[in-house]
Amino acid sequence: VSAGRVGEKHEVVFEPFGKRASVAHNTPIMDAARELMIDVSTICGERGTCGKCKVRVDSGVEQLGPLKPAELRHLLKDQIDGGYRLACVCKVRGPLVIWVPDFSRQGKQRLQTEGLEVPVNLNSPVRKYFVRMHRASLEDSRGDDLRLLEALKEQHGLQVQDVTIDFDLMQRLAEVLREAAWEVTAVVWDDRRIIAVEAGDTSERKFGFAMDIGSTKLAGFLMDLATGKVQAVAARMNPQIAFGDEIMSRLTYAMKSPESLKELQAVLFASTGEMIEECCGQANVRPSEIYECLFVGNSAMEHILLGLRARNVGFAPYAPCFTKGLNISTRGLPRLGVNPGANIYISSIIGGQIGGDSVGDLLVARLLDSDDLLFDIDIGTNTELAVGNKDRVVMCSVPSGPAFEGMQIRHGMRAATGAIEKVSIDPSTLEVWYRAIDDVKPIGICGSALIDIPAELLKAGLIETRGRFNTSLLGDRRLKGRLRKGSDGMEFVLAWEEESGIESDVVITEGDIRALAMAKGAMRTGAAIIMKRRGVTEGDLAKVFVAGAFGNYVDPESARTIGMFPEVPIERVVFVGNSAGTGARMMLISKEARRRGEEIAQKVERIELALEPDFPVEYAKAMYFPHMNLDLYPITKEMLLRLGRISAASPPASLPSASKLHGGGVGL
């Protein structure tokens, strides 16, 4: 370690920002980052107890000296090997190159509508052509349709023999042409259908709307089809929640009568219409300038959107009404408020419960373009999982329930102001740290913290691997009464009433932990089954893509510790945010991406979990944190051994009984 002198300065470079600062000897890395306005996470006030400020030291690690006790407590073996340190306890004593990973960035935006950006050819099927036409006269009395088509051919070289004019437009065409003094812009979809004709030259302005219909959340994007840029974003809860949290309950409702199906369709369209209006307002776009809308969603959502027979996707043999992408007009659908000639594209679906949202996921993660074996998980009320590469991709969908979206959890809530979004518990002092969104008094707990909580409780020895509270700690003075018997069994206080924004303590109950175990257990079971079918193991996976509404706010280490996905070194885990939404945007602005989406839907091999004999046994094993078979989680196992939470001599855990297994909300 360099001794350094008072007054000596060292250069620190922070990647991936490429920012550099010259800082005084012995400045904590955290302070150097702050000087450059780089927002490294902290919830403990930089006291070395939360472990949220992990950074990777790519050069100069030897200057930092041996690992400090706080680092030994919070860093896993693979992180230590990878050069990770805690930014708040390490001081600059020489030149450094530091990498700040996504998961250690504070970030402001909470609604995960963004996703990984993937390069895509800008090539929307919506084209606009300005034409000056000869006015009709006794000498030239061609029909208005021919006059327009021939002008398109002469002035833009359009092959017009197969181009049609929408009948709705035909009914207004004569007036539009004459009112515009024969100078108009034709909006042509895929060079096949004229869907609108506008007065004057409007060829610069064309917009589209891409929408991801999640069972719980809706995310919509107003896109400029000329530049491929996002103009505005809107998000809200899926209003169908009023008809049931779970997809099955909504499908059951939809099957009651044609009117109930229409009701579910209507609320979805009403919300979509509002989101379109909101986006247009933000971006100064007229809704009539939207010429195409593209929807992705799971199969049930896509069926309900179109008012199609819901029974097909809800019950065996799970044969959907359609699998190929559909291009339809706005006619016959509830009002969206966009251009009446707009094309509506509903993404192809893979089958059963695996819909266009998964097509979006796979477009983004590019499994079918990869030589390496990749794994993709899109966490939601239904979780879709895929594994494979360009040779073969196997996929499944599991009903994991909305627990990680804050539902069915005593103090669960969505990621909004006042939601606890990060939690940390010091494994030795059992001190609890949390951070609430917008730094106000906490009023509930959102998804990213619901992943942290079981991980932190497990590391602190407050729960055992089956998710039960460790009652031997009931009277432990360090806890100051946080662990207690509540009205519904054991519970743990995260925030006391006096520090919370509600008139009670904010707690997590044993029942909540059980709901989380069931949700993550369902996901992990899906993973086990598709990996087995594809003939791969954890060690074969070059990358694990994690998509979902809470995206980048999730601590990947917490997610791995609780066993949400197969254990791989943390460097291989990539959070891609709302990749279904990203895929939808790609397909909206690019014909190639849409074609690729169709190919994906055809090529992916789908497993119907209801038919999998291994499911109950795998599920029972996967309900443990992280898994009943700890050998599948060697990194976590090593950590739990080191912390003394398990002993090398512990007998192998036994499977819970079948009746216990089926006692909760996740079922097939």
Residues that bind ligand FES (CB under 6 A): 42, 44, 46, 48-53, 86, 88
CB of 86 to ligand FES, least distance (A): 5
Taking the complex as a whole, how short is the minimal distance between the CB of residue 617 and ligand FES, in angstroms? Answer: 40
Q: Which lies closer to ligand FES via its Cβ, residue 357 or residue 426?
A: 426
Instruction: Provide the token pair at 608.
Output: 């119907």
- Whose tokens are 């059980």? That residue is 514
3-class SS of residue 493: strand
- Least distance to ligand FES, CB of residue 30, Å: 7
The rounded distance, in Å, linking the Cα atoms of 89 and 29 is 8
Provide the residue count of the chain.
668
CB of 33 to ligand FES, least distance (A): 11
Name which of 48 and 563 has its Cβ closer to ligand FES.
Answer: 48
Closest separation in Å from C-beta 434 to ligand FES = 12
CB of 23 to ligand FES, least distance (A): 17
483 torsion bin: left (phi>0), alpha (psi -120 to 50), beta (else): beta
Rounded distance between C-alpha atoms, residue 554 and residue 40, angstroms:
15
Identify any residues that bridge with 388 across adjacent strands, giving them in sequence order: 374, 393
Closer by beta carbon to ligand FES, 86 or else 188:
86
Question: Which of 46/166 has CB closer to ligand FES?
Answer: 46
In the complex with ligand FES, which residue's Cβ is closer, 46 or 245? 46
**CB of 50 vs ligand FES, minimal distance in Å:** 3
Compute CA distances 465 → 90, 432, 490, 650, whole Å: 32, 20, 16, 12
Angle (CA) 379-381-383 rounded to 5° is 40
In the numeric block, the tokens 């059951």 are attached to 252
Half-sphere exposure of residue 447: CA atoms within 13 angstroms, side-chain side: 28
CA R_g for the chain: 28
Closest CB to ligand FES among 84 and 209?
A: 84
Rounded to a whole number of angstroms, the minimum distance from the CB of residue 49 to ligand FES is 6
Q: What is the DSSP letter of 584?
A: H
Say if CB 446 and CB 57 are below 8 A apart.
no
> Cβ 503 to ligand FES, closest distance in Å?
30
CB 100, min distance to ligand FES, A: 13
User: Which lies closer to ligand FES via its Cβ, residue 98 or residue 268?
Assistant: 98
- In Å, how far are 105, 520, 644 from 550, measured between CA atoms? 14, 15, 31
Other CB atoms within 10 A of residue 552 CB? 19
Nearer to ligand FES, 88 or 462 (CB): 88
Least distance from C-beta 494 to ligand FES, angstroms? 17
Nearer Cβ to ligand FES (10/52): 52
- Strands 483-486 and 489-495 turn out to be antiparallel
Q: Do the Cβ atoms of 194 and 148 come closer than 8 Å? A: yes
- What does the block give as tokens for 627? 């898994």
Kindly provide the residue ranges of all beta strands, DSSP E only, lying in 419-520, ordered along the sequence. Answer: 419-425, 432-436, 444-445, 483-486, 489-495, 506-509
- Which residue, 75 or 490, has its beta carbon nearer to ligand FES? 75
Query: What are the residue ranges of helices labelled H in 535-608?
Result: 556-561, 579-589, 591-603
3-state secondary structure 355-414: CHHHHHHHHHHCHHHCCCCEEEEEECCEEEEEEEECCEEEEEEEECCCHHHCCCCCCECC
Closer of 54 and 127 to ligand FES (Cβ): 54
Minimal distance, residue 11 CB to ligand FES, in Å: 22
Tell me the DSSP string of 598-652: HHHHHH-EE--GGG-TTHHHHHHHHTSSS-S-GGG-HHHHHHHHHTTSS-TTPPP
Query: Which CB, 50 or 507, lies closer to ligand FES?
Result: 50
Tell me whether residue 87 or residue 251 sits nearer to ligand FES (CB atom): 87
Supply the minimum distance, in Å, between the C-beta of residue 42 and ligand FES: 3
